[in-house]
Chain A
Amino acid sequence: MRKTTVIATMLASTILAGTATAEDVTLTIESWRNDDLAIWQNDIIPAFEAAHPGIKLKFTPSAPAEYNAVLNSKLDAGSAGDIITCRPFDASQALYEAGHLAEISDLDGMANFSPVAKSGWSTDDATVQYCVPMASVIHGFIYNKEAFAEVGVEVPETEAEFFAVLEKIKEDGNYIPMAMGTNDQWEAATMGYNNIGPNYWKGEEGRLALIAGEQKLTDEAWIAPYRQLAKWAPYLGDGYEAQTYPDSQNIFTLGRAAIYPAGSWEVSGFNGLADFEMGAFYPPVQKAGDTCYISDHTDIGIGMNAATPNAEAAKTFLNWVASSEFSTIFANALPGFFPLSSAPVTVEDPLAEEFISWRGECESSIRSTYQILSRGTPNLENDTWNASVAVLKGEETPQAAGQRLQEGLASWYAPQQ
């Protein structure tokens, strides 16, 4: 008897609560960025709601590793939120093709983005856009300024200078020259191969040629980064084979290593941990005066559930995400994740500012394996992890690694056959 009363009260309160807010539209946002919950609740949501009365936002993130699976089942069951945070490339494209993500090509705010920025969330022929590009991460090297001053080295600009710096730090003996391990594999590919690679394959030019089948992974431009990677091993500190990603982060922030091959997403974490001054430099070019290319990788997008009943409100929100107001809030709340919009944005964090300043100096590209090329079996991205580690450890020659990847890619990708 008592239980029924409680249930009845709860039901009644739900109905009442439902009617009370009936005039407001509430948009639920699906995301894997549970780290950003505070930023959304304290900065982004109040700013949006203040400017758009009548639309309420609810940010409901899930754990990163589970996001894809959770989202897929929610979409299939019809219980997913109105706004969907998009992983780049195939994961989101599959959602679009399955009819879960709405086309938003004609959104006004879309004009604020470059083709490279949009490539993460458009169909292969770039005619249909299904997510608004939200943030990218830039690759480069973070270094310990105090260590550099102590050893007496300058920031390297060319490859030769880079190795001279490493050699000098090694001779000095107080610091591990570079903090990176191969246990988790992805660092060698993401912070190694795809970090230094764009300088060799000339960024977008090489990346698009590879997709078109005009270049091969056995070409000099694609083998040369492996050759450089193979020379890193002596500078990586004892037992790097079993060193994990958190190990490397800790070694660097404890001040035991001088250089850290990085992605800009490390910035906010490192700021809180390191008690020395940090700087960043972009991947050294082959010869002085060469154009520099950086990996400015599209990482987070945001789109609209095709089944949402609040399509108009959702579009208003997406347009706002494409504006410079959102970009500024986002870039400063999360230094290291950079807005992709071409609208001017000021970043206050000095380290993050250094990363974003390269956009003016260098040509931007994205990770070579992410668009289209990792769609088949064997998976080129996973193979690149494996090859980068093997080359770094000296278990495979750069030539053999390129050959193996090319054979794997050609086995399923028609333009490379």
Chain B
Amino acid sequence: MPEQQTKAKFRWHIVVFLAPAVMVYTAVMIYPLFNTLRLSLFTEVDQSRVFVGLENFRTLFGNTLWSTQFWNALGNNFWFFLVHMLVQNPIGVALAAILSHPKLRFAGFYRSAIFIPTILSFVIVGFAWKLILSPIWGIAPGLLDAVGLKSLYAPWLGKEAYALTTLSLVSVWQFVGIPMMLIYAALLSIPDEILEAAEVDGVTGFAAFWKIKLPLILPSIGIISILTFVANFNAFDLIYAAQGALAGPDFSTDILGTFMYRTFFGFQLQLGDPHMGSTIASAMFAIILIGVCLYLFGIQSRMRRYQF
């Protein structure tokens, strides 16, 4: 047996080709992430940085001033997520199912029209909806009045009971195109043979959707759920654009992102505190990490895959 074969040559080209991506990713993602985690273990005393271990986390969870804000933000975040899961994803699946119907006309137009809000900037969406819902200039009161439902109108964004749900629905409106597109792609990849075989067995229409298509697109729905989870727990822009950093009224729309922003960068007279801000960012990171792990090990690994 010749020596050369066992001692394979080190394949330098792999390193060379990976290097740019790894370096860029390290510089803009990995290093900042670990530096944020590191920063959360420090605090500032008299203009100098001091290591305090987990003291910041104790303040965040132990001091009622901080913990009430944190739990409020986390609770709001869960509600934000729940609205997306219960409204955005089912509507996305339904739209995809309708769009993939072979007899639907103008499918391309509907697809683009529903997807376009997704590419709009948060600032535009936040501002446009604020105007639409405005009690003064908005078209919402007028439209409701025209159908005789004026009594249902309320200045939703200004009411504690409705503001968060309203903003969640605005976000759903903006992003419903994403689950729709992913599910649409998954539905298109189901081979016709399976559907035809089902048809021969007498499974058509709604039954075909529930019994054949839905089980086949479950992995996609799983991926969408986890994407929604990560996006929602990182959300910040829409709330900031619509309600500002104080996430009014009375913090009823405060989510982890706005809480972190306010703490890290400061707001009005409140000076920024990068250390407590990093602590909140680390907590957010932990929450998202736990959520993703639960999904990966609890759900993803058990999901059955069908080979066509």
Q: Do A and B bind each other?
A: yes
Q: Give the B-binding residues of A (Cβ under 8 A).
A: 68-69, 89-91, 94, 97-98, 181-186, 237-244, 247, 251, 369-370, 374-375, 377-382, 385-386, 389-390, 393, 395, 408, 411
| B: number of interface residues (CB 8 Å) | 32
User: Using Cβ atoms and an 8 Å threshold, which residues of chain A touch B136?
Assistant: 237, 239, 243, 247, 251
Q: Contact: A374 with B269, CB < 8 Å?
A: yes
| Given A369-B269, A374-B270, residue A185 in contact with residue B244 (CB < 8 A) | yes
Stretch at the interface among B6-14, B157-165, B178-186: B157-165
Q: Contact: A94 with B271, CB < 8 Å?
A: yes
Q: Which of the residues A94, A98, A242 comes within 8 Å of B135, measured between beta carbons?
A: A242
A94 CA to B47 CA, complexed, in Å: 9
Q: Contact: B246 with A241, CB < 8 Å?
A: no
Contact indicator per residue, chain B 141-181, by CB within 8 Å of chain A (1) or not (0): 10000000000001111111000000000000000000000
| Given A247-B136, A377-B65, A411-B65, residue A182 in contact with residue B158 (CB < 8 A) | yes
Say how far B263's CB is from chain A's closest CB, in angstroms.
9
Q: A374-B270, A389-B248 are in contact. List 17 more A-B contacts (CB 8 A).
A: A68-B266, A89-B269, A182-B158, A182-B248, A183-B243, A183-B248, A239-B136, A239-B141, A240-B158, A242-B134, A242-B156, A247-B136, A377-B65, A378-B65, A382-B268, A408-B65, A411-B65
Q: Contact: B159 with A389, CB < 8 Å?
A: no
Chain A minimum-CB-distance residue to B141:
A239
User: Using Cβ atoms and an 8 Å threshold, which residues of chain B touch A98?
Assistant: 47
| Given A98-B47, A377-B65, residue A382 in contact with residue B269 (CB < 8 A) | yes
Any chain A CB within 8 A of the CB of B192?
no
Any chain A CB within 8 A of the CB of B267?
yes
Q: Contact: A390 with B158, CB < 8 Å?
A: no
Any chain A CB within 8 A of the CB of B25?
no
Contact indicator per residue, chain B 89-129, by CB within 8 Å of chain A (1) or not (0): 00000000000000000000000000000000000000000
Query: Could you list 17 examples of A-B contacts with CB < 8 Å?
Result: A182-B158, A183-B243, A184-B244, A185-B246, A237-B136, A238-B155, A239-B134, A239-B154, A241-B249, A242-B158, A243-B158, A377-B66, A380-B269, A386-B246, A386-B251, A390-B250, A393-B249
User: Using Cβ atoms and an 8 Å threshold, which residues of chain B touch A242?
Assistant: 133-135, 155-159
- Among A182, A183, A374, max chain B CB count under 10 A is at A183
A322 CA to B263 CA, complexed, in Å: 36
Please list the 8 inter-chain residue pairs (A to B) with the smallest Cβ-Cβ separation, ordered nearest first.
A239-B135, A241-B158, A242-B158, A242-B155, A239-B155, A374-B269, A379-B270, A381-B269
User: Using Cβ atoms and an 8 Å threshold, which residues of chain A touch B156?
Assistant: 242
Chain A minimum-CB-distance residue to B267:
A382
A374 CA to B250 CA, complexed, in Å: 19
A395 CA to B160 CA, complexed, in Å: 10
Q: Which of the residues B244, B249, B269 comes within 8 Å of A182, measured between beta carbons?
A: B249
Say how far B141's CB is from chain A's closest CB, in angstroms.
8
A390 CA to B273 CA, complexed, in Å: 27
User: Using Cβ atoms and an 8 Å threshold, which residues of chain B touch A243?
Assistant: 134-136, 155, 158
A338 CA to B158 CA, complexed, in Å: 34
